[in-house]
């Protein structure tokens, strides 16, 4: 880097580039006051805004401030300019755990030590209402003493982000490590899905290869759903039994972290780590509020063109579509309907979806117009539009959720679900009033039998 740009915010001297992605670069740096080595993550604010990732970055900052643990990469401070966001983080020198596993299986004692540290850190996260959702060897770093450090909280979900059913619904993660209930897209417990991913990591450490693997993504998911894997003969019986209980395809039968930590194989040589108390109540709310306020104050306001201002305003809009990822797209395939493995009667699912080439703002406006015409209350929050009937039906007021997903900037998927009310009234409303009112913005319908075109 040029000498004039080597000093960051009068606090850090930037060094070599450690890595880069679509929206960020990571540099080695030195704190000018203390001399401490750190890693500086530099995020391009305009790219983040255009990519609709502003909330994800806020969440990552919030989470890393909540989870202070010896086996989690520490966030020291967040700084911002008009064009960049800077994370000053713990500099971990030992590289990724993946690089060790790539050379082959690890000795049992070494694998157990890493697994103990992983489970201890994940348990700490869960106690703070934090679910990582992308646990894999590439996101597990090693320090100079060979201790494990969890990194990359970009896909993390907070306890508060659960829906009314108490479950998370965003399908995300890395295919080979993702839990079966995440693939089916019917909602999942974040803690149980993290436990599954930890089990896959343990298998990889002990075996040197993945328990579920296939070049065809749909075949891979079928293997994961069935939970069929075979342990190599060099893994002892105690570890095999533990793996079978962790990698159980039914989340309700999967072993909990408490029981993992009381397992005889796990406890060998285990040392409990003392952790700081969790921020509770008002302290936690204040912590998250401070993150959002500091971040919002750093958004570009002056010295940017009109299109940039529009992007910033859109990013802070109450309704912002969720990105439609590979899990969502694959689930649309009729040949890949795995709901029968998790539901007693898949015909009871009251879900329909349509696609649209209209902007998200137009879709929202159309639902607002329908609400006015049909005497519904209208609310919007976090990419979801809610319509609540003012009249009492057979089973109370009819309430419908419409969640908007962005496939591309010019193509959207809208999923409709009955939140409450009578099923027959919901079906009649969807097939008549709703279809008729939405015809101007719908490109195509897809859903269960009562919504087929």
Which residues contact residue 202 at a Cβ distance below 8 angstroms, ignoring those fewer than 6 apart?
111, 115, 239, 242, 243, 246
Is 268 annotated to bind ligand? no
Q: Tokens 């391009």 sit at which residue?
A: 44
Q: Tokens 């893994």 sit at which residue?
A: 235
For 326-330, the CB contacts below 8 A with 24+ separation are 326/175, 326/217, 327/171, 327/172, 327/178, 327/182, 327/183, 327/185, 328/171, 328/185, 328/405, 328/413, 329/407, 330/183, 330/217, 330/218, 330/221
Q: Tokens 């299109």 sit at which residue?
A: 307
d(CA 218, CA 304): 45
d(CA 16, CA 312): 31
Q: In this structure, is the dihedral angle defined by the CA atoms of residues 125, 131, 135 and 138, taken in order, positive or negative?
A: negative
State the burial class of residue 345 (Cβ atoms within 10 Å of its Cβ: 0-12, 13-18, 19+).
Answer: exposed
Catalytic residues: 134
| Tokens read off for 218 | 């749909």
Contact call for residues 404 and 360 (beta carbons, < 8 A): yes
d(CA 143, CA 94): 5
- DSSP lists the bridge partners of residue 131 as 157
d(CA 239, CA 231): 10
Half-sphere exposure of 417 (CA within 13 A, CB side): 14
Contact call for residues 136 and 197 (beta carbons, < 8 A): yes
Q: List the binding residues.
A: 41
Q: List the binding residues for ATP.
A: 41
């Amino acid at each position: 880097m040029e000498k004039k740009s080597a000093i960051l915010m009068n606090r850090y001297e930037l060094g070599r580039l450690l890595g880069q992605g679509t929206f960020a670069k990571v540099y080695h740096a030195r704190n000018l006051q203390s001399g401490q080595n750190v890693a500086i993550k530099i995020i391009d604010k305009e790219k983040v805004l255009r990519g609709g990732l502003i909330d994800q970055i806020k969440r990552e900052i919030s989470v890393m401030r909540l989870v202070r643990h010896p086996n989690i990469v520490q966030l020291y401070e967040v700084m911002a300019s008009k064009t960049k966001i800077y994370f000053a983080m713990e500099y971990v020198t030992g590289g990724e755990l993946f690089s060790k596993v790539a050379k082959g299986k690890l000795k049992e004692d070494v694998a157990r030590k890493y697994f103990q540290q992983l489970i201890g850190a994940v348990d700490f996260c869960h106690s703070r209402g934090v679910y990582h959702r992308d646990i894999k060897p590439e996101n597990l770093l090693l320090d100079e003493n060979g201790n494990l450090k969890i990194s990359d909280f970009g896909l993390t979900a907070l306890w508060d982000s659960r829906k009314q059913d108490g479950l998370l619904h965003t399908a995300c993660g890395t295919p080979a490590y993702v839990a079966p209930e995440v693939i089916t897209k019917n909602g999942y417990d974040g803690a149980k899905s993290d436990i599954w991913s930890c089990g896959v990591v343990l298998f990889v450490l002990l075996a040197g290869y993945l328990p579920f693997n296939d070049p065809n993504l749909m075949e891979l998911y079928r293997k994961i759903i069935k939970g069929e894997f075979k342990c190599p003969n060099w893994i002892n019986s105690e570890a095999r039994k533990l793996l079978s209980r962790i990698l159980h395809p039914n989340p309700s039968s999967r072993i909990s972290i408490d029981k993992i930590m009381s397992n005889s194989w796990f406890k060998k040589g285990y040392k409990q780590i003392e952790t700081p108390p969790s921020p509770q109540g008002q302290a936690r709310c204040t912590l998250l509020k401070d993150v959002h306020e500091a971040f919002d104050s750093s958004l570009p306001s002056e010295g940017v063109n009109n299109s940039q201002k529009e992007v910033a305003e859109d990013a802070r809009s109450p309704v912002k579509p969720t990105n439609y990822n590979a899990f969502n797209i694959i689930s649309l395939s009729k040949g890949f309907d795995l709901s029968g493995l998790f539901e007693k009667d898949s015909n009871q699912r009251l879900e329909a979806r349509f696609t649209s080439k209209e902007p998200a703002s137009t879709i929202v406006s159309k639902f607002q117009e329908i609400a006015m015409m049909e005497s519904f209350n209208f609310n919007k929050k976090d990419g979801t539009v809610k319509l609540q009937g003012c009249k009492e039906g057979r089973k109370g007021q009819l309430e419908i959720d419409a969640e908007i997903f962005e496939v591309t900037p010019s193509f959207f998927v809208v999923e409709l679900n009955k939140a409450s009310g009578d099923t027959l009234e919901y079906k009649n409303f969807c097939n008549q009033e709703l279809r008729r009112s939405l015809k101007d913005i719908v490109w195509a319908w897809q859903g269960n039998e009562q919504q087929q075109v």
